[in-house]
């Protein structure tokens, strides 16, 4: 495959949301659900604004895989940059915002990070509490992980990807033509 050969094109699914919103769980569930159709690479990086994460996502998608980013990605500008870089590489980019009520996020936090962030003596940086988090203004898909089961959220994402022609009957051919 040459650098200009687009015959095996994948796409990027960029999950964003606060810690505890369910990004990693959804990413792994989607990867399993699509395993027969499309190889998936799940990217989970504690350095949310990492250039490396964007490069790895583009490389995986360019190689015909589904790149699922499951990091917090707190800044709109960084997510816009990832989208623009995907577009310039001719790759589809779908932003998925996972939202949950604060009490749900705290309840899902097994390490007590949120509680430490609420402690006035803490120097923890927790997106949405002591560090910035800018919710997407117009994500392609918006999920309420505190109101929907993982199965329901997975079905919503799969339906939207199918509607966009990224998965399902004839999807590989459509991605090749892009």
pLDDT tens, 34-64? Answer: 999 999 999 986 555 567 889 999 999 999 9
Q: What residues are annotated to the active site?
A: 73
pLDDT at 4: 38
Distance CA 77, CA 171 (A): 30
pLDDT at 172: 58
pLDDT at 7: 41
Residues paired with 69 in a beta bridge = 14, 43
Domains, the chain, in order of start with CATH, read 11-177 (3.40.50.300)
- Sign (positive/negative) of CA torsion 87, 159, 65, 98? positive
Cβ atoms of residues 105 and 31 within 8 Å:
no
Query: What's the predicted TM-score (pTM) here?
Result: 0.85
Inter-CA distances, 132 with 24, 26, 39, 129, 136, Å? 20, 23, 33, 7, 13
pLDDT tens, 125-139? Answer: 666 565 678 999 999
pLDDT at 5: 39
**Residue 33 predicted with pLDDT over 50:** yes
**Residue 3 predicted with pLDDT over 50:** no
**Residue 157 predicted with pLDDT over 50:** yes
pLDDT tens, 58-85? Answer: 999 999 999 999 988 898 999 999 999 9
pLDDT tens, 91-143? Answer: 999 999 999 998 898 888 867 777 777 666 656 666 656 567 899 999 999 99
Distance CA 33, CA 112 (A): 31
């Amino acid at each position: 495959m040459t650098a200009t050969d687009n015959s095996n094109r994948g796409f990027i699914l960029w999950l964003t949301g606060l810690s505890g919103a369910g990004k990693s769980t959804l990413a792994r569930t989607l990867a399993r659900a699509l395993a027969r159709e499309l190889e998936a690479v799940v990217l989970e990086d504690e350095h949310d604004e990492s250039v490396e994460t964007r490069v790895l996502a583009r490389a995986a998608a360019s190689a015909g895989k589904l790149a699922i980013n499951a990091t917090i990605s707190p800044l709109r500008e960084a997510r816009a940059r990832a989208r623009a870089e995907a577009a310039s590489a001719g790759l589809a980019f779908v932003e998925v915002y996972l939202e949950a009520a604060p009490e749900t996020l705290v309840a899902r936090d097994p390490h007590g990070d949120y509680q430490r962030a609420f402690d006035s003596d803490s120097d923890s940086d927790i997106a949405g509490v002591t560090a910035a988090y800018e919710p997407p203004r117009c994500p392609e898909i918006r999920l309420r992980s505190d109101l929907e089961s993982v199965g329901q959220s997975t079905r919503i994402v799969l339906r939207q990807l199918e509607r966009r022609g990224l998965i399902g009957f004839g999807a590989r051919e459509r991605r090749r033509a892009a």
